[in-house]
């Protein structure tokens, strides 16, 4: 889960990381009130869950309170990379001497966390790695030993700092690391971390992505996400609410299966026969009729879906429960799109009878079912 900049900065500030003075506004009047309590000049920053806001026009400067109001109104009436701006962060503009980068993320290849630093900040770290790899400092963090003061000092020294400034960076790096661990961050970064003209350091921008699997430990953020204030689509929010694994894709054949491996195989088979899957949706083992109905509703929220392909290999999941769920969904949601269903396994015959009686044909072969789904989709496109 991505956090907004203002959320990330508040967290970092609690861990001793210096950030610019600022406040959150939900309208231009609030923006003026906040600016009146700060020292000019100002930065007016759209709070949207995308990277590269500055290049997209989401970060504006202002020299007076009246200009803050003008810039805030402009942002509130705009979209940044397709996302509407509902909140803006007003903060004091920093007198910058140098822009740095520091972050901690996961390295799946080495199965550990890695601290990444650079004396070149303010741009995508991937871009720095490509254009100036010698300016990237990496430190792999032993998960049992953690990240300590002497590690932070080594990194700061490699960045060219010494004495008092080295000590300041040490505290900042440690604070960010501790915040990342406490908040189960997949990524936590300051970009840029700026050195001011008077030799201080401040996180001019901050980003935190929390591991979705750890959200049960961060209920306030989970609640916000489920209320729709996140980068997730309506389908993804519904899937989380119903305990389903869902990923939106770009095709037009809606896919529902039980088990990640089976769903992946289904996607591959659809592609093999010339079709394009619209999603990955795994209802998991032992799915009830209610869960199947919820899965159908989620897939049908996608207007691009032309055909539904339901692929169930019944083990813990009972085929008769799946069949009842399909009928329940058809009645509730009003399914008018063609469905291709493959049912094999526990209570298979009972499930087939339930669906056949309702006029829904059931297939046994995944290949045959995938071919049928692709064929029906192409017919609807003509």
Enumerate the β-bridge partners of residue 342: 311, 363
Helices (H) and strands (E) in the chain, counts: 13, 18
Closest CA to 196 of 96, 107, 70: 96
Residue 101 catalytic?
yes
What's the sign of the alpha-carbon dihedral 108, 113, 115, 120?
Answer: positive
Tell me if 323 sits within 8 A of 311, measured CB to CB: no
Residue 317 per-residue DSSP state: S
Place of tokens 């019944």: 314
Residue pair 206/14 in contact by the 8 Å Cβ criterion = no
Query: Cα–Cα distances in Å, from 272 out to 41, 222, 330, 343, 372?
Result: 58, 38, 29, 21, 13
Which of 189, 195, 238, 348 is labelled catalytic? 189
Cα gap 265→196, rounded to integer Å? 54
Q: Which of 6, 101, 177, 183 is catalytic?
A: 101
- Answer yes or no: are the C-beta atoms of 115 and 138 closer than 8 Å: yes
Q: Is 189 a catalytic residue?
A: yes
Query: Could you give the residue numbers annotated as active site?
Result: 101, 189
């Amino acid at each position: 889960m991505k956090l907004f900049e203002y959320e990330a900065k508040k967290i970092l500030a609690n861990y001793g990381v210096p950030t610019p003075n600022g406040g959150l506004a939900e309208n231009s009047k609030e923006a003026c009130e906040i600016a009146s309590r700060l020292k000019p000049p100002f930065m007016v920053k759209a709070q949207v869950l995308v990277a590269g806001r500055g290049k997209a026009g989401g970060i504006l400067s202002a020299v007076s309170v009246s200009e803050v109001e003008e810039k805030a109104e402009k942002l509130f009436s705009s979209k940044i990379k397709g996302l509407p701006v509902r909140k803006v962060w007003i903060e004091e503009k920093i007198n910058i001497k140098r822009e740095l980068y520091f972050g901690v993320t996961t390295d799946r290849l080495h199965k550990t966390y890695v601290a990444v630093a650079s004396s070149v900040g303010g741009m995508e770290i991937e871009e720095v790695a490509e254009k100036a790899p010698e300016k990237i400092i990496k430190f792999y963090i032993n998960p049992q030993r953690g990240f300590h003061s002497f590690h932070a000092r080594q990194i700061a020294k490699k960045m060219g700092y010494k004495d008092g400034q080295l000590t300041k960076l040490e505290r900042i790096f440690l604070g960010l690391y501790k915040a990342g661990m406490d908040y189960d961050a997949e990524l936590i970064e300051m970009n840029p971390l700026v050195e001011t003209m008077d030799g201080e350091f401040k996180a001019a921008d901050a980003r935190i992505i929390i591991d979705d699997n750890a959200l049960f430990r961060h209920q306030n953020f989970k609640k916000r996400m489920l209320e729709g204030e996140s980068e997730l689509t309506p389908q993804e929010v519904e899937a989380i609410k119903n305990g389903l694994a869902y990923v939106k894709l770009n095709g037009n054949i809606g896919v529902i299966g039980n088990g990640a491996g089976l769903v992946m195989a289904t996607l591959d088979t659809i592609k093999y026969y010339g079709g394009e899957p619209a999603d990955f949706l795994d209802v998991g083992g032992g799915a009830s009729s209610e869960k199947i109905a919820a899965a159908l509703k989620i897939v049908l929220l996608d207007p691009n879906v032309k055909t539904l392909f339901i692929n169930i290999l019944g083990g813990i999941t009972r085929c008769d429960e799946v069949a009842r769920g399909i009928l329940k969904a058809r009645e509730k949601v009003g399914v008018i799109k063609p469905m291709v269903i493959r049912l094999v396994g526990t209570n298979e015959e009972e499930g087939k009878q339930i669906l056949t009686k309702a006029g829904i044909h059931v297939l046994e072969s995944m290949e045959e079912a995938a071919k049928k789904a692709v064929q029906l989709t192409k017919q609807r496109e003509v």
